[in-house]
Amino acid sequence: MKIYELNASEIHKGLRHKDFSAREVAQAHLYRIEQTDKDLKAFVTVTTEQALRAADAVDAKMSRGEELHPLSGIPVAVKDNMCTTGVKTTCSSKMLESFVPPYTATVVNKLEQAGAVVLGKTNLDEFAMGSSTENSAFFTTRNPYDLERVPGGSSGGSAVAVAAGQAVIALGSDTGGSIRQPAAFCGIVGVKPTYSLVSRYGLVAFASSLDQVGPFARTVSDAAWALEALAGHDPLDSTSVPNAPVDWSQPLDKGIRGLKVGVPREYFADGMEPAVVKSVREAIKVFECLGAEISEISLPHTSYALPTYYIIAPAEASSNLARFDGVRYGFRAEGATNQEELISLSRSQGFGPEVKRRIMLGTYALSNGYYDAYYGKAQKVRSLIKQDFDNAFSQVDIILSPTSPTTAFKVGARVNDPLSMYMADLCTFAVNLAGIPALSLNCGFVEGLPVGLQLMGKAFSEMMLLQAAFAYEQTVKLPQLPVFKGGLPNV
């Protein structure tokens, strides 16, 4: 087995037994990037020298006989909307194409302190606004299962890096499904934590009441290791919760006998691909065979999640992105004769079409005379959506659904149809509106393309979700690496 095919626990074991060095692990993944990324285009920036220095530091630590953190020497990739000192953070936008932050995001600091080896920054839909990674100002990332298809978004680069063996773990951000949907399209595990469990300090804000950072991995146990390292109070993030009630000492192999599992009828509505529904229904049967108690439930306000999200998220984006004005940092247009013209030209030229579309939607929703009718009402509906989940979790422990209504669609198929693109996250919006945790894992294939199964839980129930996902993963044992279409080298 090649080094890039190993998961984190296998690499950790190999390092401890001196089967290979941390430098060899880093070099194997950097070579994998070199050989495959001309086709996949997962990375915006590869930090080769920095990665090798970090790997050498792990090797030096081992030579001194020091204990290794489970993530020491593990190659990781970081979505390029998380700040990194001395390394460009572009948000895949012309607006920040040359921006080098003076500080590092807390989540990246935590991984580096654990000894993880950061390989580089991954491509995304510009400012995390999109569901296919086609909105990047630089290039479109391709799905490793089929190069003619999208990897999902907005964290498509991170999902592809993990799925293709370019990295073992990657960080993404999830505002309305941007970790879970690409995880589903790429056949890997993606975790969206409870809002406030993981620090947002250093994450370039899209919608501050919805954004969360979480990990991608090829196995549930790798995702659990990463999430445990990321979680915890951060005084630099005012929304970070002190003493979050997650017991990380629980074993993943606890089993799920007696677990009460709800299946929401609203998540199996018209428009779902029949083959996707079939795969998810078969996964639910596996949970039943493992001893879970399955019952149908209702989340009655589900149909309002999409319009609610597309009022709240653009409104917050309109506010957050107002700082990019060509005056202080970022892209500055040339030829302006006064400050008003400078700001207008810089924002017109620096932002892409989708970002401008959402800024305009958000600004309109917040404008005088429309605030109560749109933003105020959306917040009230958001409360009803959260109430639906609260009521459901008084009856069940977790909720299962498809992650996406479809498998990965073809590149270009929805570029000119924004509403169709927005529907790709139909099953994921409500989780962010409610602030609860959820994860996606692979539950099968349709014509060679992965299908995602979404597990949702009440606030701070991450361990329960991971245990349930682990039980399913160990029972079904689906392949972790894709059989590439399109001629990617197996190096």
Closest to 58 (Cα-Cα) out of 39, 40, 80, 75: 75
Closest to 446 (Cα-Cα) out of 394, 409, 487: 409
Cis, peptide link before residue 92, omega less than 30° from 0: no
Sheet holding 260-264, edge to edge: 43-46, 117-122, 75-79, 169-174, 212-217, 189-192, 438-446, 449-457, 398-402, 260-264, 293-297
Cα–chain center distance at 35:
24
Q: What is the pLDDT of residues 359-369, one digit of tens each?
A: 999 999 999 99
pLDDT at residue 487, as a whole number:
46
From 41, 72, 79, 155, active-site residue: 79
CA distance linking residue 131 with residue 406, whole number of Å: 12
pLDDT at residue 462, as a whole number:
98
What is the average per-residue pLDDT within 147-176? 98
Q: What is the pLDDT of residues 361-391, one digit of tens each?
A: 999 999 999 999 999 999 999 999 999 999 9
pLDDT at residue 484, as a whole number:
55
From 93, 173, 178, 440, active-site residue: 178
285-289-290 Cα angle (round to 5):
120
Q: Is the pLDDT of residue 490 over 70?
A: no
Q: What is the pLDDT of residues 164-213, one digit of tens each?
A: 999 999 999 999 999 999 999 999 999 999 999 999 999 999 999 999 99
Active site residue 93: no
Identify the burial level of 300 via C-beta atoms within 10 angstroms of its C-beta, where 0-12 means exposed, 13-18 middle and 19 or more buried. Answer: middle
Helices (H) and strands (E) in the chain, counts: 15, 11
Band of pLDDT at residue 418, cut at 50, 70 and 90: confident
pLDDT at residue 258, as a whole number:
98
Q: What is the pLDDT of residues 115-141, one digit of tens each?
A: 999 999 999 999 999 999 999 999 999
Q: Which domains does the chain possess?
A: 3-256+440-476 (3.90.1300.10)
From 72, 132, 154, 173, active-site residue: 154
* Residue 158 structure tokens: 């991170």
What is the average per-residue pLDDT within 329-345? 95
E strands, 230-376, in order: 260-264, 293-297
Active site residue 154: yes
Band of pLDDT at residue 481, cut at 50, 70 and 90: confident
CA distance linking residue 155 with residue 131, whole number of Å: 8
Q: Which amino acid is at 30?
A: L
What is the average per-residue pLDDT within 350-358? 98
Q: Is the pLDDT of residue 352 over 50?
A: yes
pLDDT at residue 488, as a whole number:
55
Mean pLDDT of the chain: 96
pLDDT at residue 244, as a whole number:
87
Q: Is the pLDDT of residue 320 over 70?
A: yes
Q: Is the pLDDT of residue 48 over 80?
A: yes
Active site residue 178: yes
Band of pLDDT at residue 270, cut at 50, 70 and 90: confident
What is the average per-residue pLDDT within 432-453? 97
Band of pLDDT at residue 483, cut at 50, 70 and 90: low
